[in-house]
């Protein structure tokens, strides 16, 4: 077969292999055909060996960069894969089921929930598991910019549109073309910006500031708010037609106090991230400290939990974070009453369920004592995962003095 046919066969088997064509009869037409069929470069005979080596080095470097980009994309998709959103509570499972369905549909989604509950993470999960995942995810906090800047940030402007506009500038909608635009705290949008955004959602085009011809882009819009937009509509500060355009699908995130079963898993995740970042070897929280984490209401939600754990790890000097360290960052109500596991009647005098609880409580205390309070080691021997172990410790009110 001819050289062009060889090139075509190679590309059919492995499209990313860089191919250098070497020929004694290079014509413009042949060069165009080779490049169209995927050739990386062409070299005409005769040539110096150093020239061939130079071309091969360039081809290998290009191949290496492509491979790096593929790996980065995989890593980014993995980072926001549903399985890596931490939580096993029923509320989170239901949300992830909903996210999985809407990710593949190119529709607007309004994510609601308290500040710090993970709304942007859900938006990223939707984007990186959608057909748009190879294009940009662009986020803007609508409450962080003044009204005058917000409009130009979103839609861009033409040169001379206002004093200081010395050159035309692309807005975030154009930057996100083909991808996803995430409007955080969308309830803070001023009325004039709401009007322009509504037109874009209806027509898929908008006017830059100072422009007379519309700009057309293909962008999926996700939005989030921690305020009641229905009430904002009633109050006349948010357009009703825009509300329904943004709220095609609603995903409401529960607060952390509504999903306390997930706290041990989240804590372990944040500890792992901090260990990776700083090369530390913190293993977890002592039992009393973990109980305090689970009992606390977390008004700042997951963001507050992450920050508290980061602060605790900066101050901790042992393998396990203790209550004294945690006390510095959250207000803990210490239990001074009698232990829930104080000695009582023998197992034979108790109803079956109570006897079973007593047996399990005593077993866990014994394992914790055996492993010097190391919850991970005790959990392994008990055949439990860490989340179950923490739940049992909380259930039976096991304190440090019970096994030290």
What contacts 60, CB < 8 A, 6 or more positions away?
Answer: 18
User: Which pLDDT score, from 0 to 100, does residue 130 have?
Assistant: 92
Q: Residue range 223-235: average pLDDT?
A: 94
Higher pLDDT, 395 or 57: 57
Query: Rounded distance, CA 7 to CA 22, Å?
Result: 11
Share of the chain above pLDDT 90, in %: 34
pLDDT digits (tens, 9 = 90+) for 257-271: 999 888 998 999 899
Q: What is the pTM of this model?
A: 0.65
Query: Rounded distance, CA 195 to CA 110, Å?
Result: 18
Query: Rounded distance, CA 6 to CA 259, Å?
Result: 60
Q: 3-state class of 113 per DSSP? A: coil
Query: Rounded distance, CA 63 to CA 55, Å?
Result: 12
Q: Which of 48-57, 66-75, 258-267, 340-349 has the lowest mean pLDDT?
A: 340-349
Would you state the torsion angle of the CA atoms of residues 351, 353, 354, 360, taken in this order, to the nearest 10 degrees?
A: 140
Q: Residue range 104-126: average pLDDT?
A: 93
pLDDT band for position 71 (cuts 50, 70, 90): low
Beta strand 180-184 pairing with 137-141:
parallel
User: Which pLDDT score, from 0 to 100, does residue 247 have?
Assistant: 95
Q: With 60 as the cut, is the pLDDT of residue 74 above it?
A: no
User: Which pLDDT score, from 0 to 100, does residue 239 have?
Assistant: 95
pLDDT band for position 206 (cuts 50, 70, 90): confident
User: Which pLDDT score, from 0 to 100, does residue 308 have?
Assistant: 93
pLDDT band for position 108 (cuts 50, 70, 90): very high
User: Which pLDDT score, from 0 to 100, does residue 82 have?
Assistant: 61
DSSP bridge partners of 321: 285
Q: Residue range 333-350: average pLDDT?
A: 43
Phi and psi torsions of 183, nearest 5°: -100, 100
Q: Residue range 201-218: average pLDDT?
A: 86
pLDDT digits (tens, 9 = 90+) for 9-31: 998 888 888 999 888 876 777 77
Side by side, the strands of the sheet bearing 220-225 are: 137-141, 180-184, 220-225, 109-112, 249-252
Q: Other CB atoms closer than 10 Å to residue 242's CB: what's the count? A: 23
Q: Mean pLDDT across the chain, nearest whole number?
A: 84
Query: Rounded distance, CA 20 to CA 279, Å?
Result: 45
User: Which pLDDT score, from 0 to 100, does residue 353 have?
Assistant: 61
Q: Residue range 290-310: average pLDDT?
A: 92
DSSP bridge partners of 223: 110, 183
pLDDT band for position 42 (cuts 50, 70, 90): confident
Query: Rounded distance, CA 42 to CA 10, Å?
Result: 16
Domains of the chain, CATH where assigned: 3-78 (3.40.50.2300), 82-254 (3.40.50.300), 260-402 (1.10.8.60)
Query: Rounded distance, CA 102 to CA 70, Å?
Result: 25
pLDDT band for position 364 (cuts 50, 70, 90): confident
222 neighbors 273 (Cβ within 8 angstroms)? no
Q: Which of 173, 85, 76, 95 is nearest to 121 (CA)?
A: 85
Q: 3-state class of 85 per DSSP? A: coil
382 neighbors 363 (Cβ within 8 angstroms)? yes
Query: Rounded distance, CA 102 to CA 98, Å?
Result: 6
pLDDT digits (tens, 9 = 90+) for 171-180: 899 999 999 9
Query: Rounded distance, CA 310 to CA 326, Å?
Result: 11
pLDDT band for position 355 (cuts 50, 70, 90): low
What contacts 136, CB < 8 A, 6 or more positions away?
Answer: 175, 176, 178, 179, 180
DSSP bridge partners of 3: none
Instruction: At 234, list the tokens.
Output: 């009633």
Q: How far apart are the first and last CA of the chain?
A: 79
Q: Which of 168, 97, 154 is nearest to 126 (CA)?
A: 97
* DSSP code string of 124-144: HHHHHTSTTTTS-EEEEETTS
């Amino acid at each position: 077969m001819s050289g062009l046919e060889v090139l075509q066969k190679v590309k059919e088997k492995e499209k990313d292999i860089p191919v250098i064509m070497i020929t004694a009869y290079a014509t413009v037409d042949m060069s165009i055909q080779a490049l169209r069929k995927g050739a990386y470069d062409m070299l005409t005979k005769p040539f110096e060996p150093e020239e061939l080596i130079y071309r091969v080095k360039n081809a290998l470097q290009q191949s290496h960069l492509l491979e790096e980009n593929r790996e980065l994309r995989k890593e980014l998709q993995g980072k926001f894969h549903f399985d890596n959103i931490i939580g096993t509570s029923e509320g989170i499972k239901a949300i992830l089921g909903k996210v999985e369905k809407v990710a593949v549909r190119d529709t607007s989604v309004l994510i609601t929930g308290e500040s710090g509950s993970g709304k942007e993470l859900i938006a990223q999960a939707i984007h990186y598991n959608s057909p748009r995942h190879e294009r940009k995810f662009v986020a803007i906090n609508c409450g962080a910019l003044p009204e005058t800047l917000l409009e130009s940030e979103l839609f861009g402007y033409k040169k001379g549109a206002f004093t200081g506009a010395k050159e035309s500038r692309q807005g975030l909608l154009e930057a996100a073309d083909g991808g996803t635009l995430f409007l955080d705290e969308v309830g803070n949008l001023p009325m004039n910006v709401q009007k322009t955004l509504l037109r874009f959602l209806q027509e898929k085009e908008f006017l830059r500031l100072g422009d007379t011809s519309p700009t057309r882009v293909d962008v999926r819009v996700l939005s989030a708010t921690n305020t009641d937009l229905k009430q904002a509509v009633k109050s006349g500060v948010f357009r009703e037609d825009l509300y329904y355009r943004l709220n095609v699908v609603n995903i409401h995130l529960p607060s952390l106090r509504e999903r306390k079963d997930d706290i041990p898993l989240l804590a372990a995740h944040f500890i792992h991230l901090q260990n990776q970042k700083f090369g530390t070897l913190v293993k977890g929280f002592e039992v009393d400290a973990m109980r305090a984490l689970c009992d606390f209401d977390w008004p700042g939600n997951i963001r507050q939990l992450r920050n508290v754990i980061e602060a605790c790890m900066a101050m901790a000097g042992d393998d396990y974070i203790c209550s004294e360290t945690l006390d510095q960052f959250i207000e803990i109500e210490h239990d001074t009453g009698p232990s829930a596991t104080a000695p009582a009647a023998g197992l034979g005098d108790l109803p079956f369920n109570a006897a079973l609880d007593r047996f399990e409580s005593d077993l866990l205390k014994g394992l914790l004592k055996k492993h010097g309070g190391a919850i991970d080691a005790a959990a392994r021997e008990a055949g439990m995962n860490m989340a179950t172990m923490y739940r049992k410790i909380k259930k039976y009110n096991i304190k440090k003095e019970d096994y030290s």
